[in-house]
Amino acid sequence: MLAAALKNMQTSFAEDGFVIAQGFFNADMVTEIRQRAEQVLAQRTQVSGNYTNVTKGLEKVDSFFAELMYNGPQVALVQQLLGIKPIPATTSLFTKNNRTEQVNPHSDAKTGAVIWVALDYCSYGNGCLHFLRGSHLRQQEFAYLRPDRPNDLSDHPDKVAAVMKAGDMVLFHSTTVHWSGPNFDGSPRRGFNCFYTGKAG
């Protein structure tokens, strides 16, 4: 990556709390992630908490995901944005097949970063991710948010809809507030994430 492009990404990540790397994964890689993740989903016997659309721990079922989380091309970029070595934690698949599947505004953890890869075209119509720009710098203000509790931030002035094509990757601080709405149009909306903590232990 060109030094200027990296610098821009670092600035967005530091100031906004998230940044999108367009076309980070090529079509073959997207197909492989999709196929392998769908296989894990097909074998799944339990749902994750309240969520029918979240499949956690893909790396425990298919070592492809462990390899990707530990050694994928995103790891170096996460390190360059975070400024410290990311510690891999877990991977998940997020589907969104019906209007009731939403993830309410929340942040993921107090340290580290997350990458979320679009496996389909994701827009407002099928429930793309939304971010609250700069919220990673205002943690106290948003500490009340929980993913399983509705809180409508759709009119918040700092809201950004992350419209993404398959293969685009968004990187965000674990403290950045994000959510995803319902799938209104019923088109596939799959996302794969890797969660990295900022420190060991």
Interface contacts to ligand AKG, rule CB under 6 A: 94, 103, 108, 114, 116, 129, 178, 180, 191, 193
d(CA 199, CA 139): 19
The CB-of-14 to ligand AKG minimum distance in angstroms stands at 20
Residue 76: how many other CB atoms lie within 10 Å: 12
| Among 57, 54, 74, residue whose Cα is nearest residue 66 | 57
The CB-of-106 to ligand AKG minimum distance in angstroms stands at 7
The CB-of-77 to ligand AKG minimum distance in angstroms stands at 17
For ligand AKG, which is the closer residue by CB, 173 or 178?
A: 178
Coil, helix or strand at residue 180: strand
For ligand AKG, which is the closer residue by CB, 36 or 176?
A: 176
d(CA 101, CA 175): 22
For ligand AKG, which is the closer residue by CB, 17 or 191?
A: 191
Side-chain-facing half-sphere of 156: CA atoms under 13 Å: 19
The CB-of-48 to ligand AKG minimum distance in angstroms stands at 11
For ligand AKG, which is the closer residue by CB, 16 or 108?
A: 108
d(CA 94, CA 88): 18
